[in-house]
């Protein structure tokens, strides 16, 4: 129907009924509805994307602790540092890492790197590939972040920990430190402290 005829009819109806019968919205429209076939395609695509995103979010990255035989000392150090960062983020969990990740990278990681380099320097090159990092940080209120150990003997060499503290009249803070096998892990080597807040922090690995 031509546009001018449609408008004339609407005006005529309004005049004759004194506006009691309002023009239909469908009558004004061009009836440009999406065909059902396209609606089904759109819905199917949306569901497919949603499923793909869901599968992607469920994917877990596996962290390997084995080192290639021919890596140089520098490459092995870099590998250990990369895995140390990964284990720390797993330890923190999303709720805590969102708050402290930046400060952790700036304040704590340099000390972790220094300790890793110190550990690697104690071993001849042909023994370096036996150095490995544990893959299961402690959850809940456990202090364990990761250990560096000798893969053949299973003996721990250096333990990296983080302890929750609440000094008198202060808020909660995280004390990062490590222990070494040289004194049977007795000495507490502090790497730094990150303040949390006056509120109790969530458990480690809390999503």
pLDDT score recorded for residue 30: 41
Q: Which residues contact 164 (CB under 8 A, 6 or more apart)?
A: 141, 172, 173, 174, 175, 201
Mean pLDDT, consecutive 10-residue stretches, the chain (207 aa), reads: 47 46 39 36 38 32 43 88 97 97 98 96 89 95 97 96 95 97 96 97 96
Q: How many angstroms separate the Cα of 36 from the Cα of each of 32, 154, 160, 200?
A: 12, 64, 60, 54
Strands (E) located in 9-129: none
How far is the C-alpha of 100 from the C-alpha of 104, rounded, in Å? Answer: 6
User: pTM, whole model, 2 decimals?
Assistant: 0.66
Q: Is residue 76 within 8 Å of 128, Cβ to Cβ?
A: yes
The residue assigned the tokens 């809390």 is 206
User: Angle 77-81-85 (CA atoms, 0-180°, nearest 5)?
Assistant: 175
pLDDT of residue 55: 27
Tokens (6 digits) for 22: 């309002």
Q: Which residue ranges make up each domain of the chain? A: 3-58, 73-195
The confidence score (pLDDT) of residue 73 equals 86
Please give the structure tokens belonging to residue 76: 């092995």
| Dist CA 207 CA 143 (whole Å) | 18
pLDDT recorded at residue 71? 66
Angle at 203 between CA 197 and CA 206, to 5 degrees: 105
């Amino acid at each position: 129907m031509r546009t001018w005829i449609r408008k004339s009819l609407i005006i005529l109806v309004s005049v004759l009924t004194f506006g009691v019968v309002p023009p239909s919205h469908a009558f004004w429209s061009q009836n440009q509805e999406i065909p059902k076939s396209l609606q089904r395609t759109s819905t199917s695509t949306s569901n497919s994307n949603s499923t793909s995103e869901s599968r992607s979010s469920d994917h877990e990255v596996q962290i390997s602790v084995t080192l290639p035989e021919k890596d140089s000392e520098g490459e092995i150090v870099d590998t250990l540092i990369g895995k140390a960062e990964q284990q720390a983020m797993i330890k923190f969990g999303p709720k805590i890492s969102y708050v402290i990740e930046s400060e952790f990278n700036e304040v704590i990681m340099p000390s972790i790197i220094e300790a890793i380099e110190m550990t690697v320097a104690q071993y001849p090159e042909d023994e370096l590939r036996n150095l490995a990092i544990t893959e299961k940080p402690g959850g809940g209120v456990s202090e364990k972040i990761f250990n560096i150990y000798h893969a053949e003997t299973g003996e721990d060499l250096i333990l990296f920990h983080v302890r929750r503290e609440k000094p008198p009249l202060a808020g909660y803070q995280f004390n990062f430190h490590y222990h070494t096998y040289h004194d049977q892990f007795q000495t507490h080597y502090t790497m730094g402290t990150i303040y949390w807040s006056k509120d109790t922090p969530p458990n480690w690995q809390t999503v």
